[in-house]
Amino acid sequence: MFQESFEELRRKASACTLCPLSGTRARAVFGEGPENAPVMLVGEAPGATEDRTGSPFTGRSGKLLTALLDGEGLPREKIFITNMVKCRPPENRLPAKGELAACRPFLAAQVARLRPRLLLSVGNVPTRDFLSSREGITTLRGRFHTCLWQGIPLTVRPLFHPSYLLRNRSFAEGTPGHQTVRDIREILRFLMEAIPGF
């Protein structure tokens, strides 16, 4: 695992050539948010907008995620936000196994430094990785999980990926949108109980 500070890691990610995604990225998207945030959110990979802006979750699905979090009283500024891989896979495909493996030392260093009280895994890719599970997000969401990831004890709460919610736009009772709002409310309650003054 890398031992550097976030600033050094950010520089290292920008210059990284450990996997083929470095050949097609405009910018590496290291992550953003307070470096002492008690809550960390991990998505799959940067998309086209993120590749351009250098900030995670700033495209259409990011805007929906931000609105949902804000709407429930959990502003994204309180969260350290990153992805499993720091560079955009072409055509927005899912990151390949080798790409996930090449980028894991960056993520492991971020998690080890932050030691978040709660980690939100967004979508199938991070959820399966953190929970070492082959189950899908539909089965794994809706509850808190404890796990050991890269030797680090974590509490993980999976969330549907916002791009899935963009394809299933209803927020009626029982829909993924409605379930996500309930998940965020439970996450906020957990954080308020676990962290004085949150």
- Rule CB under 6 A: which residues touch ligand URA? 43-47, 50, 56-57, 59, 61-62, 83, 122-123
| Residue number, 149 or 198, with CB nearest to ligand URA | 149
CA 159 vs CA 132, 143, 185: distances in Å: 16, 10, 12
Contact (Cβ atoms closer than 8 angstroms) between residue 101 and residue 51: no
| Helices assigned H by DSSP within 135-175 | 137-140, 162-167
Distance of closest approach, residue 49 Cβ to ligand URA, in angstroms: 7
Distance of closest approach, residue 47 Cβ to ligand URA, in angstroms: 4
Q: Give me the residue whose beta carbon is nearest to ligand URA.
A: 43
Q: How many CB atoms lie within 10 A of CB 15?
A: 8
Distance of closest approach, residue 21 Cβ to ligand URA, in angstroms: 13
| Residue number, 10 or 198, with CB nearest to ligand URA | 10
| Residue number, 62 or 116, with CB nearest to ligand URA | 62
Provide the CB-side half-sphere exposure for 6 (13 A, CA): 15
